[in-house]
Chains A and B, each alone.
Chain A
Amino acid sequence: MNMPADLRAVSHLARSLSPLSRPPRWKIFGELALIVVGILLLSTTIKLHWLTDFIIFFIIVLSFDLLYGYMGHLSFGHMLYYGAGAYGTGLFLVNAGKNPIAALFVGVAVAAILSAVLGLIVMRTHGASFALINMAFNEIGFFIIRSPLAKFTRGDDGLSCNAEKLFGIVDLNDDLSAFLFVGIVLLLVFAFLRVLTTSPFGILVRSIKENEKRVAFFGYDTFRSKWIVFVISSTLAALAGGIFTLVRGFLSPQVISPFGNVEVIFAVLIGGAGNLYGALIGGAIFMLIKNFLPVAIPELSKVVGVKLPQWEMWLGIILLIIVFAMRKGVVGVIRTQWHYRFRVARNAP
């Protein structure tokens, strides 16, 4: 228990490297079933329309968790790729054709190419420079969408774009089918990320987070691995943006606004970084805070008779608690407790 943190991480990595302890593939189906149960539980309290938004947000958070949680690169510019995917899809729908799959494909491809090019630049920086150079690109992208491309994107007025039915059958404007479509994409993304992060490549990525120099010393091309992860993560964010466009049929420059990054970072940290469940749970908690507190607080203030602080303040307090008391997020705390109850306590003499 008292091992230093990095040694513990290394021993954890070593254990996952051994082929015997690699999680069996069938386990993924169990996890996916768990997610379905969780979303069904959420659906009892939230309208289906909102739940679709939640799930799209979960996909962004999952993609960001790959970059930040697994590789340790904090970016302030993830929304650039989300927005690029959304606008790529939307502009295709408006100008080229109504086929949703083709539009989604084009949007994601545009964002993937963009991230591949920018990744060559940003992946050469570290730490604060990495965070801020991404923010700079995001800010530039936000500007490009709003102003020079305003002829196509209609600037701040927003762009409405309707797709035809998916495969000719599924109407994405219908709440239930949109929800099912988005849910299936979430499950696919989760399964993909689970396979990726437990694969040897995923373990290499986690080793880069622990000590990049040492990994490079072993002869791995760390720049290439980092670039690949950046492109994958950005492409998944773009996928979330594309399905957002398909489901909502309306785009405003808000989707590419750099302020969105902060929300994604918070969601990852609330749940626990470097952990796919953490991304999901953190995303759910964050969205609940963001969507329910603004409604709940005024009503609560009427009951109490005192004007209560708005949701931003509560979020601020939660962030301070996370940093000073729960570094590993909700999932980290649960995991430590679990580990203590069922592993350490049982093995104690």
Chain B
Amino acid sequence: MIQTIVYGFTIGAILYFFSVGLALTFGTMRIINFAHGMVYAVGVYLFIAFLKVFDDSFLLALAASVIVMLPVAYLIERFIIRRLYGEGLDYAIIATYGVLLIGTDAIKMLWGTTSQPVNDPVGISIEVADFGLPVYRIAIFICAVVLFLALRLFFKRSIIGKIVIAALEDSDGVRCLGLDVNKYFSIIFVLGSALAVLGGILYAPISSAEPYMGFHILLLAFAVVIVGGMGNLNGTFIAALALGMVMAITGRFWSQAANAMVFIVMALVLIVRSRRLTQD
């Protein structure tokens, strides 16, 4: 049982890393961003490539791949996402999905279609009640909590964070103050993409990398964003952990039901919320 709880927290932590960027893009710009999955997957594959360059130094490879993905994310924001502000939902989905397809195919061309395992960088387990608990999983969870607190501080205290929160509420109002909202949005977009890459790399030793990893996590992350409330950071954190837990617990009893359970929760939340929306 302890193992299940730890596994749930790990999955939840990774989902949180991935969903933060998605929730921010969705909350600020009303764009469902499939390109997030592309940044995530390509980041992990770059990390695997860098591992060879840096003699299996986990942290160096991590830093290098995040740094390489920053300009990629900026270019996606600048030339694709920014042109779609205020457009219909559908065109944003199609364009970012196109980016995701291009990224997936690039991965398949460069690294092949087989999944690539990554070694656990810590490799120690502690014995708790006859179970081996990998320290690495606990470390991931701690990382997620630290990230959550850091983001809270960032959005509460820093000027950029405050502007973005204001723009989440009313971007036209912020524009009227003479601030270039787009600039802040691209900062947030790049930040979110970097976090997705980070989450992907942290997850890679547990799950191993495969070209379609971006697709799979995207669907779960949408559920997190919906359950957490679009653009609500605290909600995203709680929803990610809760859904991770739902997956781990269902997975323990009925492994095939894990994904479906997440979507059942999502459907219920949407039904309840839409009823509230139609009332006013």
Would you list which residues of chain A between 103 and 153 have a CB under 8 Å from chain B? 121, 124-125, 127-129, 131-133, 135-137, 139-140, 142-144, 146-147
Chain A interface category by residue count:
35 or more
Contact A132 B259 (CB under 8 A): no
CB-defined contacts of A313 to chain B, threshold 8 Å: 101-102, 105-106, 109
Q: Is the pair B102, A316 in contact by a Cβ cutoff of 8 Å?
A: yes
Kindly state the separation between the CA atoms of A316 and B109 in the bound complex, as whole angstroms.
15
Interface string of B161-184 (1 = CB under 8 A from A): 000000000000000000000000
Nearest B residue to A258 by beta-carbon distance? B219
Instruction: Give the residues in chain B near A316, CB-CB below 8 Å.
Output: 97-102, 105
Binds A, one of B147-155, B240-248, B266-274: B266-274
Chain A hits for B223, CB < 8 A: 136
Q: Which of A85-93, A275-283, A304-312 contacts B (4 or more CB under 8 A)?
A: A304-312
A319, B263: Cβ atoms closer than 8 Å: no
A262 at the A/B interface (Cβ < 8 Å)? yes
Cα A338 to Cα B241 in complex, Å, equals 56
Stretch of B62-70, B88-96, B186-194, B196-204 at the chain-chain interface:
B88-96
Confirm or deny: B252 has a beta carbon within 8 angstroms of a beta carbon on chain A. Answer: no
B236 at the interface (CB under 8 A from A): no
Contact residues in A for B32 (Cβ distance below 8 Å): 128, 131
Provide the bound-state CA to CA distance between A140 and B262, in Å: 9
Residues of chain A within 8 A of B95, CB atoms compared: 319-320, 323-324
Question: Which residues does chain B contribute within 8 Å of A258, judged by CB atoms?
Answer: 219
In the assembled complex, the Cα of A219 lies from the Cα of B31 at a distance in Å of 33
Q: Does B264 lie at the interface of the complex (its beta carbon under 8 Å from any beta carbon of A)?
A: yes
Query: Is the CB of B257 closer than 8 A to any CB of chain A?
Result: yes
Task: Tell whether, in the assembled complex, residue B109 and residue A307 are in contact, meaning their CB atoms are under 8 Å apart.
Answer: yes
Q: Which of A127, A133, A136, A309 contacts B105 (CB 8 A)?
A: A309
* In the complex, B278 has a CB within 8 A of chain A: yes
- What is the bound-complex CA distance between A143 and B30, given in angstroms? 29
User: Residue on B with the closest CB to A315?
Assistant: B101
CB-defined contacts of B222 to chain A, threshold 8 Å = 132, 135
Q: Do B80 and A320 touch (CB < 8 A)?
A: yes
By the criterion CB–CB under 8 Å, are A125 and B270 in contact? Answer: yes
B22 CB → nearest A CB, Å: 12
| Contact-residue bracket for chain B | 35 or more
Chain A residues whose C-beta falls within 8 Å of the C-beta of B226 in the assembled complex:
129, 132
Question: Are the CB atoms of B83 and A324 closer together than 8 Å?
Answer: yes
| Cβ-defined partner of B256 (8 Å) among A133, A139, A147 | A147
Asked whether A136 lies within 8 Å of B259 as measured between CB atoms, the reply is no
A98 at the interface (CB under 8 A from B): no
Chain B residues with CB under 8 A of A163: none
Task: Let me know if A136 and B100 touch, CB within 8 A.
Answer: no
Q: How far is the CB of B2 from chain A (nearest CB, A)?
A: 27
Nearest Cβ on chain B to A290's Cβ, whole angstroms: 12
- Of all chain B residues, the one with the shortest Cβ separation from A270 is B94
Q: Give which listed residue, B108, B109, B260, contacts A140 with CB less than 8 A.
A: B260
Establish whether residues A135 and B219, one from each chain, have CB atoms under 8 Å apart when the complex forms.
Answer: yes
Say which residue of A136, A144, A259 sits within 8 Å of B270 (CB atoms). A136
How far does the Cβ of B134 sit from chain A's closest Cβ, in whole Å?
28
Residues facing B in A264-309 (CB within 8 A) are: 265-266, 269, 307, 309
Q: B274 is contacted by which of A74, A124, A140, A315 (Cβ under 8 Å)?
A: A124
B267: chain A residues at CB < 8 Å are 133, 136-137, 140
Residues in A whose Cβ lies below 8 Å from that of B256: 143, 146-147
Q: Does residue B104 face the partner (Cβ distance < 8 Å to A)?
A: yes
A317 at the interface (CB under 8 A from B): yes
Nearest-Cβ distance from residue B69 to partner chain A, whole angstroms = 18
Residues of A within 8 A of B (CB): 68, 74, 121, 124-125, 127-129, 131-133, 135-137, 139-140, 142-144, 146-147, 258-259, 262, 265-266, 269, 307, 309-310, 312-313, 315-320, 322-324, 327
Q: Please name 9 pairs of A and B residues whose Cβ atoms are closer than 8 Å in the assembled complex, sorted by A.
A: A129-B226, A129-B270, A132-B222, A133-B270, A147-B254, A269-B94, A313-B106, A316-B98, A316-B100
Apart from A259-B215, A312-B105: 20 A-B pairs, beta carbons within 8 A: A128-B30, A131-B32, A133-B266, A133-B267, A135-B263, A137-B263, A139-B260, A144-B260, A146-B256, A309-B106, A309-B109, A310-B105, A310-B108, A315-B101, A316-B102, A317-B102, A318-B98, A320-B99, A323-B91, A323-B98
Of all A-B residue pairs in the complex, the 3 with the closest CB atoms, nearest first, are A319-B98, A316-B101, A143-B260
